[in-house]
Structure 1
Amino acid sequence: MRYESFLFCGMALFFAITAVIYGWFSMEPAGLAALIVSFLMSSLIAFFLWTQHVRRGERLQDRKDAQTYEASGPLAFFPARSYTPPLTAAGAALTGLGVVFGLWLFVIGIGVLGAGVAGFVFQYNSREA
């Protein structure tokens, strides 16, 4: 994941330079805010990818001498079914509708969305890695 982190570092550098130039020549704050947020998001992804590279080391995809049979076996855990994606989607929809129709629907949506996100986080908490 080292090369991917370099890619996102380059994107972050591009957004930082663009934000400085845009902020210098423009008096419009919305574009500057969008460029700063883009810089922060690409920096976050670059940091995550670099951290994963440091923790896990080089992947088989990064090695030029890797053979196909080395990647055989289970890759990851993929659950068969889960109730949390529809619950999270319903919570996001209710929250969005609550912005339009009123605070009461927004609060209900936040509750449903919180239950869905908590389900994502804690559904396989007791599972061994």
Structure 2
Amino acid sequence: MKVEALLFGGVAVFFAGAAALYGWWSRDPAGTAALAVAFLMAALVSFFCAVQYRRKGRRPQDRTDAEVADGAGPLEFFPAQSPWPLITALGFAVVCTGVVYGLWLLLIGFGVLARGVLGMVFQYANRGVGQED
């Protein structure tokens, strides 16, 4: 993750410099804002990679002396079938339709969308609690 953090940090520095020069030379607020957003996105990814590197240390992919077996281990948790993505998509569709047809449908859509998102967030909130290795 250290290499990725440095790589995205370099990209962020490039976009920051490009935004500053472009804003100074062109006086165009739209292009400057787009470059500033690109800087912020690259900086966010760089920050995430740096934090993960500090938390978890070097990965087997980062070491030259690592074997293939060093990267093996348990896979992440993959959930079974869930109705919440479908409910979230339905809520988003109703919100978009509500923008066209009226506030009442928009509010109903926000309610369905909020329920779907909260369902996805808290579906596995108790996973691992009370289980022993």
Equivalent residue, structure 1, for 2:55: 55
Q: How big is the shift at 1:65? A: 1.5
**2:68 paired with 1:68:** yes
Give the match for residue 20 of structure 2: 20
Moved more, 93-102 or 36-45: 93-102
How many residue pairs match? The answer is 129
Q: Give the structure with higher Rg (CA).
A: 2
In structure 2, C-alpha distance between the alignment counterparts of 1:19 and 1:68, rounded to whole Å: 42
Provide the residue aligned with 1:82 in structure 2. Answer: 82
Partner SS for 2:27: coil
| Shift in CA distance, 12/101, structure 1 to aligned 2, threshold 3 Å | farther
Percent of pairs with identical residues: 53
Q: Does structure 1 residue 126 correspond to structure 2 residue 129?
A: no
Q: In structure 1, what is the equivalent of residue 93 of structure 2?
A: 93
TM-score (norm 1): 0.87
Question: Aligned partners of 1:94 and 1:18: how far apart in 2?
Answer: 40
The alignment's C-alpha RMSD in Å is: 1.8
SS at match of 1:124: coil
Q: Is the 8 A contact 2:5 2:47 kept in 1?
A: yes
Query: TM-score scaled by structure 2?
Result: 0.85
Residues in 1 aligned to 2:71 and 2:42: alpha-carbon distance in whole angstroms: 29
Distance in 1, Cα, partners of 2:116 & 2:14: 36
Q: Say which is worse superposed, 8-17 or 98-107, in terms of deviation.
A: 98-107
Q: Using the alignment, how far apart are the partners of 1:103 and 1:78 within structure 2?
A: 38
Per-residue deviation, 1:114: 1.5
Provide Cα deviations, 1:60-100, integer angstroms capped at 9, x if missing partner: 11112111222223121111222222222222232233333
**Which 5+ residue runs of structure 1 have no aligned equivalent?**
none
Name the aligned partner's letter for residue 109 of structure 2: G
Range with bigger deviation, 69-78 or 92-101: 92-101
Residue 106 of structure 2 corresponds to 106
Distance in 2 separating the partners of 1:76 and 1:120: 17
- SS for the counterpart of 1:79 is coil
